[in-house]
Structure 1
Amino acid sequence: MRRAILNSFIALSFGLVASLSTTAPSFAQGAAKGPSGLPLPRFVSLKSRKVNIRIGPSTDYAVSWMYMKSGTPMEIIQEYENWRRVRDAEGTEGWVNQALLSGERTAVAAPWMRGKGKDIYVNMRRDPQGTAAILAKLEPGVVLQIKECNGDWCRVETNGSEGWVAQAEVWGAYPGEAFK
């Protein structure tokens, strides 16, 4: 019983610290760094097909959620030893061991548009401009592999198709973030 109370207190303490910290992109903050030396926050993806998300940074803590798809994008918002506090596209937060995370960048196509009605899509275009030919219409929630982003557009791949999507229409790259 004491252990459960202590674990709950520690988990709440971590949650309070995380809620008091800012979640603006690291490049906008002057590259705030976590204990690992890497920027916080930052996007990563799940390495394994089955990943437990815990309420605290240890296997002593209960599993609050289980992800069943490798490549799912996550945002690291806090670090503690070899544990990372992550947030998914729906806003769910929890702790995962760093060994289960990959630096490979993935994204979710407009998760905020999911369930908003019929005929709502994210356009994948041939070139990084709004007038370029549409190669595919992506349903909100589709997971994409990011090849690069230029700050306005991201070159992505999904199910063998490759093209460009507006960076503002994906969760997995910060506004204005450029990388290859």
Structure 2
Amino acid sequence: MLAQAASPADAQGAHDQTEAGSGQRGAVTNLPLPRYVSLKGNEGNARRGPSLSHRIDWVFRHAGMPLRVVAEFGHWRRVEDKDGAGGWVHYALLSGVRTALVTEDMLALRARPNPDADIVAQAESGAIVRLGECNRTWCQISGGGQRGWVPKTAIWGVDPDEIRD
């Protein structure tokens, strides 16, 4: 949840990411692996394997939850959350809209990507926010009607070397 401070598509997410690491691409989509997506609805079953006949190992229950795609098979994507939990999720349950998870409690959102900039809002740990522009060390996030810049190290859902315009 974001609080105001006292003072004043499906592949879209993948196109914004730099190709770091192995440079591997998905066999189905030809998009970079790993890459980040988000959960489209309020619930998504993560299965042991890439079909409806496989057992459900995990259920994601937060719309917009950022997830990392690590593999593809047909209409299925192998995803992981911040803690590495996950499984195979049908692609229709995923969105290319980029979100992030706040990992630092009462995270200060700043007016500019600078540690000395004015604080415009604060975010609680666990808040799911929309991910905007990112430079080498800062990202712009928004949620709850608030918007500001935070250090990349204080959120999950963006790679350390990823630049977003």
Contact 2:20 2:161 survives alignment (8 Å): no
Contact 1:52 1:63 survives alignment (8 Å): yes
Q: 1:71 aligns with which of 64, 72, 83?
A: 64
Q: Structure 1 residue 31: deviation in Å?
A: 2.6
RMSD of the TM alignment (CA)?
1.6
Q: 2:95 aligns with which of 99, 102, 124?
A: 102
Letter paired with 1:29:
G
Q: Structure 1 residue 65: deviation in Å?
A: 1.6
Mapping 1:76-95, distance limit 5 Å: 76-95=69-88
Q: Which runs of 5+ in 1 are unaligned?
A: 1-24, 114-119
2:39 corresponds to 1:46: yes
Letter paired with 1:152:
T
Mapping 1:139-150, distance limit 5 Å: 139-150=124-135
1:18 corresponds in structure 2 to: none
2:45 corresponds to 1:29: no
Contact 2:67 2:157 survives alignment (8 Å): yes
CA distance in 2, matches of 1:34, 1:162: 33
CA distance in 1, matches of 2:76, 2:18: 19
1:19 corresponds in structure 2 to: none
Q: 1:88 to 1:151 in 2, by over 3 A?
A: same
Letter paired with 1:51:
G
Which structure would you say has the larger Rg?
1
1:116 corresponds in structure 2 to: none
TM-score, length basis structure 1: 0.77
Q: Secondary structure at the match of 2:77?
A: strand
Greater helix proportion: 1
Q: 1:26 to 1:126 in 2, by over 3 A?
A: closer
Q: Secondary structure at the match of 1:71?
A: coil
Contact 2:69 2:80 survives alignment (8 Å): yes
Q: How many residues align?
A: 148
Q: Structure 1 residue 57: deviation in Å?
A: 0.6
CA distance in 2, matches of 1:136, 1:166: 14
Q: Secondary structure at the match of 1:168?
A: helix
CA distance in 1, matches of 2:20, 2:80: 19
Q: Secondary structure at the match of 1:104?
A: coil
Q: Structure 1 residue 30: deviation in Å?
A: 5.5
TM-score, length basis structure 2: 0.84
Q: Which runs of 5+ in 2 are unaligned?
A: 1-16
